[in-house]
Amino acid sequence: MNEIDPARRFSAEAVRKFDGPADGNTPGGMNDVARQVASQYRRDTMSPIMVSGVLRMVEFGLLLLSGLGVYFHYVGFFNYLAWQYPLSIAASSFLAVVLLDVTDCYQIVALMRPIANFGRVLLVWAGTFALMALTAFVMKMSEDYSRLLFGTWFVIGFVLLFGLRLVMSKLIRRWARDGRMERRAVIVGGGKAAEILIRSVEKQPYNDIRICGIFDDRGDRRSPPIVAGYPKLGTISELIEFARIARIDMLIVSLPLTAESRVLQLLKKLWVLPVDIRLSAHSNALQFRPRAYSYIGSVPMLDIFDKPINDWDSVAKRAFDIVFSLIGIVVFSPVMLATAIAIKLDSKGPVLFHQKRHGFNNEIIEVYKFRSMYTDKADPTAKQTVTKNDPRVTRVGRFIRKTSIDELPQFFNSLLGSLSLVGPRPHAIAAQSHNLLYNEVVDGYFARHKVKPGVTGWAQINGWRGEMDTNEKIRMRTEYDLYYIENWSLLFDLRILFLTPVRLLNTENAY
């Protein structure tokens, strides 16, 4: 961790800023101190889960390659390859990684203390060879194995394992110190309960939690401006903006379960954020079964919401997007080329239309489309929705909108990462229904932005596409989008992707 947390660095200033309710406020609604603290956390961090996951793959590769290297050294690369040796080496390498995982050797605490875990790693590696020897004995293959070969691999493999862990311990400490590998948390609710929670979290050895500040709706009498050295940065409404600027991983609600109505009131506001939400249980008299808790060190937490599509799921989804976007670009390139020529011949202006829309975590992204309107009548803000026989739409535009060909350039958005292939469709930032912004129509509308928006989505293939001319249509689209987020899987994405061309044949609502 950094020697001085950014949140604590602004403590004294925070006291001055909160002396008066209007002092230090910026037009965006968040006070200057909170904005400065949020700016310290704009950079993405490395997830501990991802780090340990990559280490598993690296160690498996090292063990496999070192085993094969020893084998080829003794036998010769071009000599007869006995199948049982490479197979045994691969199986043993995999078994070693599994046993290291089972014995918690991939936990960040263990990786930061390689000397303390020397015996455990040695025991796992020796146990792997013992199981391999037992298997060979049972299968009556033990006489076929070279003791010298496997003895050499045992020594080299362990040196590689332990040497890598020595290197990783230094890297992890450096990443933690530089703020590159940490879980960023905000405490929701102040006062004595928050202070006890912060002290409990901070005294945990090798803790990867960085507390970024405190947010509370209560005044300074009930919730002091500084708690355990951390400033109260604002209200719960300001927390939503803070979490969108900073790369926050977790919100910890420091309120007793007995304050049920207040907890529910907070969660109703906070669930739209793409973060883990935990309810601190360290001071609750009501006890649950141990399985009901997750832990930060030894501090128990009740899991309320989890960030959707996180860690390895996000890697899998990104790989899915890249592969199928490239396929889509190749397959539809003749259609896109013909469309570009038709647009150019039909009306003056550029072939592509760029529009600002809401992306992941409410960030503003630029989405590509084939231009379907006359240039002088285009509406980048989308305040006025396109209706049937809209005079702003060109002849070519009517056809490409009805067939959704105008959306094909968004394969490039997906390839570059601003969109996903499948997800809630991105809406224009000023999109309205009856002079009301969509978020004013639907309670919790911004929860759609907990994941990247998509080129196609669950709502679209269920008929909720095209003109959103009633409040009910906005609500239903949002309901389907939230169902997708809560039930996401790669198979679900594949299902939506392959159903999209079929469902697009229904052009009733596409103008």
Q: DSSP letter string over 167-185?
A: HHHHHHHHHHHTTSS-EEE
> Does pLDDT of 29 surpass 70?
no
Q: How many residues does the chain have?
A: 511
Question: How far apart are alpha carbons 126 and 129 in whole angstroms?
Answer: 5
Structure letter (DSSP) for residue 426:
P
Average pLDDT rounded to a whole number, residues 200-215: 81
Question: How far apart are alpha carbons 46 and 171 in whole angstroms?
Answer: 12
Burial 290-324 (b: 16+ CB within 10 A, else e): eeebeebbebbbbebbebbbbeeebeebeebbeeb
Q: Which of 22-26, 287-291, 363-367, 464-468 has the lowest mean pLDDT?
A: 22-26
Structural domains in the chain, sorted by start: 6-18+30-35+183-307 (3.40.50.20), 48-178 (no CATH), 312-505 (no CATH)
Answer yes or no: are the C-beta atoms of 240 and 361 closer than 8 Å. Answer: no
* Alpha helices (runs of H) in 30-143, residue ranges in sequence order: 32-39, 48-75, 84-102, 108-112, 118-138
Q: Where are any strands of DSSP class E within 352-490?
A: 352-358, 364-370, 420-422, 432-433, 436-437, 454-456
Q: What share of the chain is helix, strand, coil (3-state, %, to 5)?
A: 50, 15, 35
Residue-level pLDDT at 27: 41
- Phi/psi for 183 (5° steps) reads -110, 120
pLDDT in tens, 59-71: 999 999 999 888 8
Q: What is the pLDDT of the chain when averaged over all its residues?
A: 81
Question: How far apart are alpha carbons 359 and 361 in whole angstroms?
Answer: 6
Residue-level pLDDT at 493: 94
Question: How many helices and strands (H and E) does the chain possess?
Answer: 18, 14
For the question of whether the overall pTM of this predicted structure is more than 0.95, the answer is: no
Question: How far apart are alpha carbons 369 and 407 in whole angstroms?
Answer: 5
> Does pLDDT of 313 surpass 70?
yes
Average pLDDT rounded to a whole number, residues 100-111: 90
Tell me how far CA of residue 4 lies from CA of 45, 71, 245, in angstroms.
18, 52, 21
Quickly tell me which residue has 């020594």 as its tokens: 155
pLDDT in tens, 48-105: 888 889 999 999 999 999 998 888 887 765 555 566 778 888 999 999 999 999 999 9
Question: How far apart are alpha carbons 332 and 145 in whole angstroms?
Answer: 56
Answer yes or no: are the C-beta atoms of 340 and 400 closer than 8 Å. Answer: no
Burial class (CB in 10 A: 0-12, 13-18, 19+), 487: exposed
Average pLDDT rounded to a whole number, residues 324-348: 93
Instruction: List 183's β-bridge partners, or say none.
Output: 209
- Please, which residues have CB within 8 angstroms of residue 203's CB and are 6 or more apart in sequence? none
pLDDT in tens, 114-126: 999 999 999 999 9
User: What 3-state DSSP class applies to 231?
Assistant: strand
Residue-level pLDDT at 503: 76
Burial class (CB in 10 A: 0-12, 13-18, 19+), 78: exposed
Instruction: List 433's β-bridge partners, or say none.
Output: 436
State which of 210-224, 244-258, 306-320 shows the largest mean pLDDT: 306-320
Q: How big is the chain by its Cα radius of gyration, in Å?
A: 28
User: What 3-state DSSP class applies to 318?
Assistant: helix
Centre a 10 Å sphere on the Cβ of residue 369 and count the other Cβ atoms it contains.
Answer: 18
pLDDT in tens, 235-284: 888 888 888 888 888 999 887 666 677 888 888 888 888 889 888 876 55
pLDDT in tens, 355-410: 888 888 888 889 999 988 888 777 666 666 666 777 888 888 888 888 888 899 99
Contacts within 8 Å (CB) and 24+ apart, 5-9: 5/210, 5/211, 5/212, 5/230, 6/36, 6/37, 6/40, 6/41, 6/212, 7/37, 7/211, 7/212, 7/213, 7/230, 7/231, 7/233, 8/229, 8/230, 8/231
Element containing residue 237 per DSSP (H, E): helix 236-245
Structure letter (DSSP) for residue 22:
T
Tokens read off for 408: 């094909």
Nearest to 217 by CA among 197, 231, 238, 198: 238
Element containing residue 481 per DSSP (H, E): helix 471-486
Tell whether the torsion through CA atoms of 158, 159, 163 and 166 is positive or negative: positive
> Does pLDDT of 332 surpass 70?
yes
Question: How far apart are alpha carbons 336 and 446 in whole angstroms?
Answer: 32
Half-sphere exposure in the Cβ direction for 234 (13 Å, CA): 25
